[in-house]
Amino acid sequence: MVNGLLKEYSPYLEYKDGVLHFDGVNLEELARELGTPLYVYSANHIRDKIRAYKEAFPGALIAYAVKANFNLGVIKIAAEEGCGADTVSGGEIYRAIKGGIPADKIVYAGVGKTDEELSYALEQDILMFNAESEMEIEVLNELAGKKGKKARIAVRVNPDVDPKTHPKIATGMKKSKFGIDINKALDVYRWASKLPNIEVVGIHCHIGSQLLDLSPFREAVEKVADLYRKLEKEGIRIKYLDIGGGLGIKYKPEDREPSPKELADIVTPIVKDLGVQLILEPGRSIAGNGGILITQVQFLKEKDDKLFVMVDAGFNDLLRPAMYGSYHHIVAVREKPQKMVCDVVGPICETGDILGENREICDVGRKDYLAVLSAGAYGFVMSSHYNMRPRAAEVIVENGSYRVTRPRENWDYIIWKEEV
């Protein structure tokens, strides 16, 4: 039953002879060799998820959302599978290109793009800027003119759709900072299409993240399709329809993870006659359950009726539980018949440094290892040096072997550019 549950997170996650393995690699041996905290990503899991999108949306550009996991090894896998990249900063564009993704497959969103970032993206000749405001389009027109270029843009429209997710990752509602009100979008397109250094090529929307209920996609895409038809009547030719990402993953054991095929069944009938290339921006649904965080037990402490298991990974390594109150399933790396109920807490000097509350796990002791599941997206990318803690190493496992794609930091790494 335990392996059955693990397979629901990833087909490459299982206990063999009582020890947790990921993509054929013994995680206890890996942790002993490389130390902890340790992020581990399955290449096969990531490839399978990308291929599921490609099969569900033939002809679409699958633009991997770099913000979910910007490890160069992960980006390289996405590039090898023919993906483009969804980026939200100049640095992410730089990483995507370094990872092997061609610039003509890169789209660039984000509400606060700097002049330097816009100029860099123009120089790289990326596929499309997903513009978030009229002022951004004005600045982009000016910068492109100075470079003798035309900036290809989509207007990011806000369809005012409730994505039924955590408020901090809902981006498609009217009160959100993202995009332009869809009711104002037609006027913005008319204006932008007349600017000398702007080429209007697309429509973009992204309603939120970690969506397990797909009904909001239907409402959003129907609104965007209606906008497309209005633009077509005005003679404004749209080549690309970028519907964003947001497909959710299994975090809790009871969660049901929707598939790209289910999303395609909703989206395809709405857009099939529009004559555009579809762009999708999956991130979490590709990398999320393709990654785990291995951490080592340091101490156990009982206070009143509560047992605390203190580990060496904290919210400097995995911020989501402290920031969003997010659930991550936690299992022991070595399976045992005895169980215990505990709070799994980190070393950070903050009360909120809790990875899991009231969890039933296998009985563990000092120096045993735990695996925090569903950590491949918004894990390492949100990590920090808080409390002067070096960031974790990152490893890609595949068919029983592994490669370190980012070595563990140390104290000297953190302060090497500082001066006294």
DSSP per-residue letters across 106-128: EEE--TT--HHHHHHHHHHT-SE
Please give the structure tokens belonging to residue 169.
């990752």
Report the largest interatomic distance among the alpha carbons of the chain, rounded to a whole angstrom.
72
Please give the C-alpha separations between residue 341 and each of 307, 360, 363, 413, in angstroms, as whole numbers. Answer: 7, 4, 9, 37
Classify residue 410 by burial, with Cβ atoms within 10 Å: 0-12, 13-18, 19+: exposed
Contacts of 247 (CB under 8 A, 6+ apart): 211, 214, 258, 260, 263, 282, 284, 285
Residue 306 pairs with which residues in a beta bridge? 303
DSSP letter at 375?
A: -
Residues in a beta bridge with 211: 247
Q: Is 349 a catalytic residue?
A: yes
For residue 305 the two structure tokens come to 């009726």
Q: DSSP E strands: which ranges in 249-290?
A: 277-280
Residue 408 is given by DSSP the state P
**DSSP character for 278?**
E
Catalytic residue among 83, 342, 349, 362: 349
Instruction: Report d(CA 96, CA 132) in Å as an integer.
Output: 21
Strand partners, 130: 154
Q: For residue 373, give the nearest of 315, 288, 306, 308 by alpha carbon.
A: 288
Look at the block and give the residue holding tokens 């397990």. Answer: 212
Tell me the catalytic residues: 349
